[in-house]
């Protein structure tokens, strides 16, 4: 079954005056081409100005006046990439059949949008843009990135390797996503929890077209920590495991301590100190682990995520 619909491309922009004209040109090319070939019913680009201090909004304003395909949203202050994107997705969720999110800097290949829309037309609800392995990347870069994804998954956050925020969402998935009321956004993880029929589209990632990255290393680190702590209670559970581990060591220490005591190779006080050290450590960690379990529950409650997402119903009157 082929389906087709209205496409909105959502672009968060923070101080992007240097790239906007080029970005707009390329996105409009993609849209007009798909409108002409009948792949989509109609398309539009929605720029979200995330409180930029340069001419970004002025440019968006001009572009939207020049072409009815272009729309703009101006946020009152800088809210960060994830929030800006969420704002755009929320506002388009009622007026499109599918939404593509893409950065303003043209690092993601705009031509991959064609393939994403084809997948949507084939019935996929979520299409992930996945960056091909860059052979030009240094060994260090590739492995730190890999370590990052590994750490995330060990800590219980499901992320897709080499997928950032370049993706297509059908309106069912989109509405489910924007109905998540949480404050700590980590969209690429949230999308993964949705389910739906999904697939990947591969592309080569280029350098930034112009301007500089708005994500310095410090922001990246924060983002990684956010990714783990806003998704998973595993770190809390780990405390409990450490507690058990310490208690086990305590048991071994008790055995060893008593044995040494009886064969008389100890100085007075050593046995009791050794044993209580491990036992207390273990007990404290266990206790924190128990508290952590409750904190984890509270954390899940306050997120108020929907309990389920309905993909479709049949014959339900």
Among 107, 193, 229, 230, binds Mg ion (CB under 5 A): 107
Min separation Cβ 185 and ligand UDP, Å = 12
Comparison of 107 and 260: residue with beta carbon closer to Mg ion: 107
Comparison of 50 and 125: residue with beta carbon closer to ligand UDP: 50
Nearest partner of 178 among 71, 306, 72, judged by Cα: 306
Min separation Cβ 203 and ligand UDP, Å = 14
Min separation Cβ 106 and Mg ion, Å = 8
- Summary count for the chain: helices (H), strands (E): 10, 7
Task: Please choose, out of 40-48, 95-103, 175-183, 296-304, the segment that lies near Mg ion by the rule CB under 5 A.
Answer: 95-103
Bridge pairing between strands 126-131 and 70-74: unpaired
> Burial of 306 by CB count in 10 Å (0-12 exposed, 13-18 middle, 19+ buried)?
exposed
Q: What DSSP string runs through 261-309?
A: HHHT-S-TTHHHHHHHHHHHHHHHHHHHHHHHHHHHHHHHHHHT--S--
Residue with tokens 């206790």: 287
Residue 50: which of Mg ion, ligand UDP, none does it interact with, CB under 5 to 8 A by kind?
ligand UDP
* d(C-alpha 148, C-alpha 151), whole Å: 5
Task: Please choose, out of 20-28, 43-51, 56-64, 106-114, the segment that lies near Mg ion by the rule CB under 5 A.
Answer: 106-114
Decide if residue 80 touches ligand UDP (CB under 6 A).
yes
Residue 109: which of ligand UDP, Mg ion, none does it interact with, CB under 5 to 8 A by kind?
none
**Interface residues with ligand UDP (CB under 6 A)?**
12-14, 16, 50, 78, 80-81, 84, 103-105, 107, 213-215
């Amino acid at each position: 079954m082929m389906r087709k619909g209205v496409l909105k491309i959502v672009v968060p922009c923070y101080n992007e005056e240097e790239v906007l004209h080029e970005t707009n040109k390329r996105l409009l090319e993609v849209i007009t081409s798909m409108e002409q070939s009948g792949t989509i019913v109609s398309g539009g680009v929605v720029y979200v100005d995330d409180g930029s201090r340069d001419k970004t909004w002025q440019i968006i304003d001009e572009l939207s006046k020049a072409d009815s395909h272009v729309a703009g949203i101006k946020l009152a202050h800088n809210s960060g990439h994830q929030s800006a994107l969420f704002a755009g997705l929320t506002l388009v969720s009622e007026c499109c059949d599918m939404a593509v999110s893409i950065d303003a800097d043209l690092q993601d290949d705009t031509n991959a949008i064609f393939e994403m829309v084809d997948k949507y037309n084939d019935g996929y609800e979520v299409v992930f843009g996945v960056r091909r392995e860059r052979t030009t990347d240094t060994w260090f870069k590739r492995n730190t990135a890999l370590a990052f994804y590994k750490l995330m998954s060990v800590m219980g956050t499901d992320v897709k390797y080499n997928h950032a925020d370049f993706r297509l969402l059908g309106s069912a998935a989109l509405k489910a996503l924007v109905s998540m009321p949480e404050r700590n956004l980590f969209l690429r993880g949230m999308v993964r929890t949705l389910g739906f029929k999904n697939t990947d589209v591969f592309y080569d990632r280029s350098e930034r077209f112009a301007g500089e990255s708005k994500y310095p290393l410090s922001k990246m680190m924060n983002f990684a920590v956010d990714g783990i702590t806003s998704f998973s209670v595993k770190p809390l559970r780990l405390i409990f495991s450490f507690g058990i581990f310490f208690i086990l060591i305590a048991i071994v220490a008790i055995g060893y301590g008593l044995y040494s005591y009886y064969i008389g190779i100890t100085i007075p006080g050593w046995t009791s100190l050794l044993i209580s050290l491990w036992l207390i450590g273990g007990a404290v960690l266990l206790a924190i682990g128990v508290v952590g379990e409750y904190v984890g529950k509270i954390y899940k409650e306050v997120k108020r995520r929907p309990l389920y997402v309905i993909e479709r119903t049949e014959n339900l009157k």
